[in-house]
Each structure stands twice: as structure tokens, then as C-alpha cells.
A and B are shown apart, each in its own frame.
Chain A
Amino acid sequence: MHSPQREWAFLGSSHGFSLLLKRNCSISPQGMILVFALLALATLGIATGFALAGAWLVLPFAGLEVAALVLAFLLTARHAADYERVELMPGRLCVEVAEGRALRRHELNSGALRVRHAPERARVLLTCAKSGEIEIGRHLDVEARVVLADKLKKTLSL
């Protein structure tokens, strides 16, 4: 087995870079809706059949189960499409954070920017006088956040 390898898609340092950080969701929210809808349809269809045959008490249990499915779907899909885009362009760093339905976009002066680690779980914070502190790297594990912060510091100092 080969050793762990971490590769970052930073483009040439003098021309800036674009980094998209997002969760790994192997199915789209739309795909998940389709899957869960088919399940709910099958469950409710079967229960309706039994209700028509006189066994109506199957229906409430099917309803409860579908409610559980919907809850599971909502929990999964709520933040499935969250992302952070960090783009370095000449003189400025653009950070776009999508969280649930909210989309925030920050344009920071790359010359007056500081990258630092918060002690708690190595959170990566971008500090600048105008926008205050912006956290990035929430979709990464601790180890990857450390790498991200180091890379950012190096790239920004060039």
C-alpha cells in the first residue's frame, strides 16, 4: 500500500488559483428525492392495497415510515449542495460560501489579508480589517485544514 497523498489544485502561484471545497455527495438532491419518492410510493401503495382489503392499520405505520424517510431526506439534503469557493485574482481574494439557501460572497484585499488557525479543530480563518473574520475549509477534516492554511499562507505571501 502506498502512503497517503494529498494534492491541492492550486494553479500557478503568480496567476492566482481557484479552489472549490464541498462535501462529497455521491447523489444529487434531485436523485435522492427520486429514490425516496419511489420508496414512499411503494410503501404507501402497498399499505393502501391492504387498507382497501380491510387491514387499514397498515396505513398509519406506512405513514410513519414515510415521515421518517422524509426527515432523513431533509437532514441529508439540507446541506448537500453547500460549498466554499476560494479564488485568488490579482490583488483580491474572492470567497463564496453557500450554506443551505444562503449564498455569501466576500471580496478581500489579498495584500491586507491574514490567514490563521483557530485552536479549536484547526479552523482556518481569513482575517481582514474590512470584512472581519471569515471561516473557510469547513468541508475538510482537521489534517486537510492545516494543509489548506499552509498553502494559502504561502500562496498569498508570494
Chain B
Amino acid sequence: MSAVVDSHGHGHEHHDHHGGYSGIMRWITTTNHKDIGTLYLWFSFIMFMTGGAMAMVIRLELFSPGLQWVDPDFFNQMTTMHGLIMVFGAIMPAFVGFANWLIPMQIGAPDMAFARMNNWSFWILPFAASLLVISFFMPGGAPGVGWTLYAPLTVQMGIGMDLTIFAVHLLGMSSIMGSINIITTILNLRAPGMTLMRMPLFCWTWLITAYLLVAAMPVLAGAVTMTLTDRHFGTTFFNAAGGGDPVLYQHIFWFFGHPEVYIIALPAFGVISQVIPAFSRKPLFGYASMVYATSAIAILSFIVWAHHMYTVGMPVTGQLFFMYATTLIAVPTGVKVFNWVATMWKGALSFETPMLFAIGFLFLFTLGGFTGLVLSLAAVDIQLHDTYYVVAHFHYVMAIGAVFAGFAGVYFWLPKWTGRMYDEALGKWHFWLSTIFINITFFVQHFSGLAGMPRRIPDYPLMFETWNKISSIGAFGFGLSQLLFLYIVLKAIRSGEKAKDKQWEGADSLEWTHLPTPVPYHSFETQPVLK
């Protein structure tokens, strides 16, 4: 016999909201999923601006041929830290922030399954980020080896490399704790009636992402630990002189690294799968196929790693295997793109800022995916490997894809989180400026890459100057546009118009249909029963 049916269960305003603490201690001790989500999102924005500032230094140096502003060593440190900070400090935490805010509300749970562990997963991050930044001030500076931390160069770096290794370990720990929490929450705390195949797609994409993280993170931890023991404890895992193999590092790194691409992309797909149906005023087309496509992408991501390594030498059969496996990923990805377009087809579309960013994502991510197909072909990749074509490709996928999905998500849920509406006109300005400048930055890099400009160099022949100048102007514009984003968010929080309970009429997940705006500090303490 059932005990309780409570559709709202948010009558706990009489509780102490913040565990008896206020000010900074409230944020340090909080175990509330909404607080922790907010912390993740602000942290990721700070890291986004930090990594972005490094990108500005890179583009400033590349504005003209010759060495103008920084020496080559520092340039390499900038490219390395830009990559590490953007991947591990900005994009991943941003989507964990979304997960923290949304998963409990979307499945009708009161909080994450392990609330204290949730607090620890976040508070590890600032220490890890500090280690990365402090490495610049160590003798020899930060590592200048590229974000892939390839051996044997890593063995030659100064103490900054050790700090980076420690930071990677901490970031990995945080991710694993977060993943275990997300898996347990989604599987065990769903409200009665919220079957797996009724969950919002955002929850599905995060469930699968958490699996990817759990499977891939020990591999990265092992790789950087072997680098550490090669540096300090006399092992020769990656040193050919001692019987080791530097190519082994590449295999290990990319076995983690390629799933990492989807660790970033899948939650972005989840956000887009919430936004597009809401502004199309239609249910997501092909929900089940979206779930299966996401799973297929996740499984395939583990068998394509060596497409990053065609040039290190491998048997033709190996090249063929990785080439076909990589092109195969286009099938489930194509299913997703088709379903998003089919969702919009004959929908009652409106183009508020979240939808603009979602459509921007759709175009630009697809473009990045297409250049990925080009690069998956071994014969072509051998020509384009380590050129700016590759830089353009992964920035379209990871930078534009993930960041645009992040913006779409922030604009979409900001009214629900804060109870305040953002300035729609400014939001649209942000979208158009970002879209124009990001394409100016990265589209031309296809041309310089096709012409043979290698990546990770501070100087280049005169023939590449025009494309680099254009790219740098685009980068400065994109960087400045993000200050507008900060202003929009702060303005909304301080003086935005009051948002409605269901700000977007097409939104149909529990946070919109069952919770008021802004959401109370405690929600779904008694779980709703879904018919």
C-alpha cells in the first residue's frame, strides 16, 4: 500500500537553509545540490576566462609572424595550460554544474545520493586549478608539452610538471566522485513513475557520461603516474633507452582522450535536447533512438583512439580499423542531428536566446563533426596531422560545441535558478557577437591548416599572416563578447524581471512543471509520483 503522494513537497521553508552557516562558510560547508551546482558554474566561468586570457596571449603572439610578445617557451606553456584549463577546469565543471542543479530536480529527487561527497568533489577543484596556475611560477615555468602531456618531453620538464600531474590526479578524483554520485542518484533516487525511458534526455546523457568517466579516468591517472615515476623513480615506461615505449603513452592517453571528447560532448547534447523541444513546442523527436545513439557513441568512443596517432606508424589493417570505427561514429551522431532537426520540423518555433545558441550549436557542431570525418581518413590525416586544420576541427567540436551548449543551458535555466529573467535583447547580442567572432577565429584556421601551418608554434612563415591576423581579431572579439555574458548574468541576478514558474511554455521536465520559480532551497523532499 502506498504511503505518500505529494506532488510538490517543498514545504520546508521553516528549515535552516544553510546548515547554520552564513557567508563564505555557507558555501564551503554546503551539501545542497543547488549550491554546489552554482559553485561549479561560477568556478567554470572563472576558469573559462583564465583559459581564455591564455588564448588571447596565444592569438596576440600569432597576430604577426616573428616573435613579438612572448618567448617560445612561454608560448608553449600557454598552449598547454589553455588546453588543460579549458578541458578540465572550464568545460567539464560547467556540465557537472548543470548536472548538480538539474538531475535531482528532473528525476524528482531531493538531492544527490551522496551529498557530502558532492561537496568534496567540488572543493577539490580550486586546489587542482591553483596547482595548474602556480606551476607558472615554478623554476622552469609551467609544462610546455601540450595538453596531451606527451612523453618523452614531459620527462624533461621542471617541477611545474609535477604540480600538473598532481592537479590531473585531483581533477580525476573529483570527476570519479562526481560520476559515482550521478550514477547512484539517477539509478536509485528517481521518483515513482520516473522510469529510465521517461527521464529527460539530459539525465540520460549524464548517466552515460558518468559511465565513460568511471571507465576512462583510471587510465589517465595511470598515464600521469607513470610519467611521474619515469621522472623521479627511475622507471622507463616511456623511455626507449630503458626498454620503454613513448608511443605507449600516446595509446594510453588517447584511450582516455577520445572518450574525453564525448565526456564533454554528451552533456552538451543533453542540454540541446532539452532546449530545442522547448522552443519548438514539440516533444523530442525519436527519444528512444536518442538514448540508443548516445549509448552507441559512448561505446564506439573506446575503439577509435588511435585515429589521433596515424602518423606514429601502425599497420595498414590498424589504420583501416580505426578509420572505419571512427567514421562509424557519424551514424549515431547523424541520428542525433536528424532528430534535433526533425523536432524543429513543423514546430511552433520561437527564437529566444537559448534557442539561438542551440541552433548555433547544431550548425557549428555539425561542421566540426564533418571535419572530424575528413580527419578520420588516414590518408588525409597524415597530410593534416598537427596542422591548424586539426585545431579548427576540435575547437568547432569542443570549444564551440560545448560552450554554445553551455550558453544555451545557462540562458534556458537561469530564470528557474535565480527567479529573474535575463535581458533578451542583450542575450541576442551575445549570441550574434559570439557566433560571428568564433567563426572568424576558427573557420579561417581550416585554410591555414590546409596550407600547412603547424600548430603549437609561436612563429610562422609570412604566407600564413592574413589568416592569422583574421583569426586573432576574431579571438579578441569573442573574448570581449564573453564580458557581455557576465554582465547579462549579473544584471539578471540583480535586477532582472521576475521570471514565471514556467518561463518557457514548451518546457516539460519536472523542474518546470512541478517546481515554482525560483526553485526553493529544498525541493522534492517528498518525491512526486508520476502518472
Contact = CB atoms under 8 A, between A and B. Distances in A.
Pick the most buried of A18, A21, A59, A68: most chain B CB atoms within 10 A of its CB. Answer: A68
A5 interface: yes
Contact of A55 (B3, B114, B192, B237): B237
B314 to A, nearest CB: 14
Interface string B203-221: 0000000010011011101
Contacts of A141: 9, 12, 525-526
A36 B55 CA distance: 40
A61 B113 contact: no
A130 B511 CA distance: 48
B4 A140 contact: yes
A88 to B, nearest CB: 12
A59 B222 CA distance: 8
B1 A26 contact: no
A35 B526 CA distance: 26
B7 A4 contact: yes
A6 interface: yes
Contact of A8 (B4, B189, B191, B248): B4
Contacts of B1: 9, 18-20
Interface in A56-84: 57-62, 64-65, 68-69, 72, 75-76, 80
B223 A4 contact: no
Contacts of A39: 183, 211, 214-215
B225 A27 contact: no
Interface in B9-46: 9-12
B187 interface: yes
B252 interface: yes
A7 B183 CA distance: 31
B5 interface: yes
A66 to B, nearest CB: 9
Contact of B218 (A9, A25, A65, A140): A65
Nearest to B169: A61
A60 B222 CA distance: 8
Interface residues of B, number: 53
A97 B85 CA distance: 51
B176 A68 contact: yes
Interface string A29-68: 0011001000100110011001001110111111011001
A50 B216 CA distance: 12
A109 to B, nearest CB: 23
B27 to A, nearest CB: 25
A144 interface: yes
Contact of A57 (B5, B237, B255): B237
Given A8-B3, A69-B180, A140-B3, A61 B225 contact: yes
A131 B129 CA distance: 58
A54 B3 contact: no
A67 to B, nearest CB: 11
A50 B187 contact: no
A144 B2 CA distance: 13
A143 B8 CA distance: 12
A4 B237 contact: no
B218 A58 contact: yes
A61 B180 contact: no
Pick the most buried of A4, A6, A9, A57: most chain B CB atoms within 10 A of its CB. Answer: A57
A1 B223 CA distance: 52
A43 B212 CA distance: 10
Interface string B406-447: 000000000000000000000000000000000000000000
A2 interface: yes
B189 A47 contact: no
A4 B180 contact: no
A31 B187 contact: yes
A22 interface: yes
29 contacts: A1-B513, A2-B7, A4-B10, A5-B5, A6-B4, A26-B192, A27-B187, A32-B187, A39-B214, A39-B215, A43-B218, A46-B218, A46-B255, A47-B218, A47-B222, A54-B248, A55-B223, A55-B252, A57-B229, A58-B218, A58-B252, A61-B218, A61-B221, A72-B180, A75-B114, A76-B184, A76-B188, A141-B525, A144-B4
CB-based closest 3 A-B pairs: A58-B222, A26-B190, A61-B218
